[in-house]
């Protein structure tokens, strides 16, 4: 991620707003400046007023941020980002479903997951970052054993394991739905009751956060066949917690995998073993606030350390955690920044944007 003039990094934070579903007290997308040496955060004000931007994605060329608008009739909006960290809306489009909760920008395609009806929608991107006219909508059928959450399909996120494929995590049907070259071609089954929420990709391995079984599942991806082998799973908190703990985000950083745990209110650290085929639970660290939703890795440059920045949804705050360079385990820096109902943290490379502008 790039730097500001004074060395601070730019983070954009998505929130729930009074006109989103669910509603919240946020005003839209917030701008945050992060000090990569200390972990201190500074309020940069509201960058864009848009309904329920509960998930954000960045596309570098040209510098564009995409935000879902999580409402009963979902939309996705595009914003140009300039070297002053200002957002200018370029337009929006319907998502083909309700409660869109995730957006993925890869190359010249944008994928949105609609939770309410399970539809995954794929848009083309024009060279200026705007959405092309028309979109492909991919529905699903099925259910799962957790009857109050898995009565039907619930697309929750999208991940790209290679250049041709996108995997849509369907919490309602315990599947990773496979989209190849813009066509839905099959699905990878997960154990019943997994409730897959988010997927992290590390080479040929996939790490899937199970929201309903409170486990992290390990799969080996085969790009040639568009299928994956389920290798096993581990408890998201190191112990049985299904029904009491609900994992949310999952990310990789070096030889470690991190998971946010809503309920336990921790960030779990896993060490990657056997070349990626197995995860070993290392530690649980306090997340810095209640109901930790999304988080991001702020990677240090040169002498700077790595940090995690965690959105504590029910704490109306962001927390910064310092990653131990030897163990990989996060520790609370004590730094907090108040943001109403933060649900997504997106790093934006502001230095590269400024260079592209010639400023």
Backbone φ and ψ for 49, nearest 5 degrees, come out as: -95, 110
The pLDDT, as a whole number, for residue 358 is 83
For 66-105, what is each residue's pLDDT tens digit? 999 999 999 999 999 999 999 999 999 999 999 999 999 9
**Rounded to an integer, what distance in angstroms lies between the CA atom of residue 160 and that of residue 181?**
11
Q: Give residue limits of the domains in the chain.
A: 9-358
Which residue shows structure tokens 């919240």?
A: 24
The pLDDT, as a whole number, for residue 7 is 86
Tokens found for residue 231: 């290798």
Q: Check: CB of residue 120 under 8 Å from CB of residue 101.
A: no
Q: What own/partner pairs with CB < 8 Å and gap ≥ 24 does 129-137 have?
A: 129/59, 129/62, 129/63, 129/64, 129/78, 129/80, 129/90, 130/78, 130/90, 130/91, 131/76, 131/78, 131/91, 131/93, 135/93, 135/96, 136/182, 136/183, 137/96, 137/97
E strand spans, 6-54: 9-15, 29-34, 41-48
End-to-end Cα distance, the chain: 18
**Rounded to an integer, what distance in angstroms lies between the CA atom of residue 207 and that of residue 205?**
7
- Band (pLDDT 50/70/90 cuts) for residue 302 is confident
CATH superfamily, with its number, for domain 9-358: YVTN repeat-like/Quinoprotein amine dehydrogenase (2.130.10.10)
- Band (pLDDT 50/70/90 cuts) for residue 359 is low
For 129-183, what is each residue's pLDDT tens digit? 999 988 999 999 999 999 999 999 999 999 999 999 999 999 999 999 999 999 9
Q: What own/partner pairs with CB < 8 Å and gap ≥ 24 does 34-38 have?
A: 34/8, 34/9, 34/10, 34/298, 34/307, 34/309, 34/320, 35/7, 35/8, 36/3, 36/7, 36/8, 36/9, 36/298, 36/300, 36/301, 36/304, 36/305, 36/307, 37/7, 37/304, 37/305, 38/333, 38/335
| pLDDT reading at 1 higher than 50 | no
Sheet holding 196-202, edge to edge: 196-202, 205-210, 215-222, 227-235
Tokens found for residue 345: 């943290």
pTM above 0.75, yes or no: yes
The pLDDT, as a whole number, for residue 2 is 41
Tokens found for residue 101: 């909760």
For 239-267, what is each residue's pLDDT tens digit? 999 999 999 999 999 999 999 999 999 99
| pLDDT reading at 114 higher than 50 | yes
- Residue 217 pairs in a beta bridge with 208, 233
Q: Check: CB of residue 60 under 8 Å from CB of residue 54.
A: no
Tokens found for residue 258: 């991190």
Q: How many CB atoms lie within 10 A of CB 45?
A: 9
- Buried b / exposed e along 69-82 (16+ C-beta atoms within 10 A): bbbeebbbbbbbbe
C-alpha triplet 63, 53, 111: angle, nearest 5°:
65
């Amino acid at each position: 991620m790039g730097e500001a003039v004074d060395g601070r990094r730019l983070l954009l934070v998505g929130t729930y707003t009074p006109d989103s579903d669910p509603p919240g007290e946020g005003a839209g997308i917030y701008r945050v400046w992060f000090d990569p040496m200390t972990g201190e955060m500074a309020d940069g004000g509201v960058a864009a007023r848009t309904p329920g931007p509960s998930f954000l994605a960045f596309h570098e060329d040209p510098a564009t941020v995409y935000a879902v608008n999580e409402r009963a009739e979902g939309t996705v909006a595009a914003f140009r980002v300039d070297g002053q960290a200002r957002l200018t809306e370029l337009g929006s489009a319907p998502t083909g479903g309700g409660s869109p909760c995730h957006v993925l920008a890869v190359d010249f395609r944008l994928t949105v997951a609609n939770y309410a009806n399970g539809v995954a929608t794929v848009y083309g991107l024009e060279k200026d970052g705007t959405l092309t006219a028309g979109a492909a909508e991919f529905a699903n059928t099925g259910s799962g054993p957790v009857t109050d959450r898995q009565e039907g399909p619930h697309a929750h996120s999208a991940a790209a394991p290679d250049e041709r494929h996108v995997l849509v995590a369907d919490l309602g049907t315990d599947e990773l739905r496979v989209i190849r070259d813009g066509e839905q071609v099959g699905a990878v089954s997960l154990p019943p009751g997994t409730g897959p929420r988010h997927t992290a990709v590390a080479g040929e391995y996939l790490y899937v956060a199970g929201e309903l079984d409170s486990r992290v599942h390990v799969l080996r991806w085969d790009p040639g066949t568009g299928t994956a082998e389920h290798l096993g799973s581990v408890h998201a908190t190191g112990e049985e917690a299904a029904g009491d703990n609900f994992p949310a985000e999952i990310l990789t950083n070096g030889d470690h995998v991190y998971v946010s745990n809503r309920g336990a209110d921790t960030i779990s650290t896993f060490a990657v073993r056997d070349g990626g085929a197995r995860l070993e639970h290392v530690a649980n660290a306090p997340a810095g606030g209640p109901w930790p939703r999304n988080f991001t890795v702020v990677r240090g440059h040169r002498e700077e350390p790595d940090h995690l920045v965690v959105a504590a949804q029910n704490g109306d705050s962001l927390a910064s955690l310092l990653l131990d360079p030897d163990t990989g385990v996060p520790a609370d820096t004590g730094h907090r920044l108040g943001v109403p109902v933060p649900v997504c943290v997106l790093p934006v490379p502001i230095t590269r944007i400024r260079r592209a502008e010639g400023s």
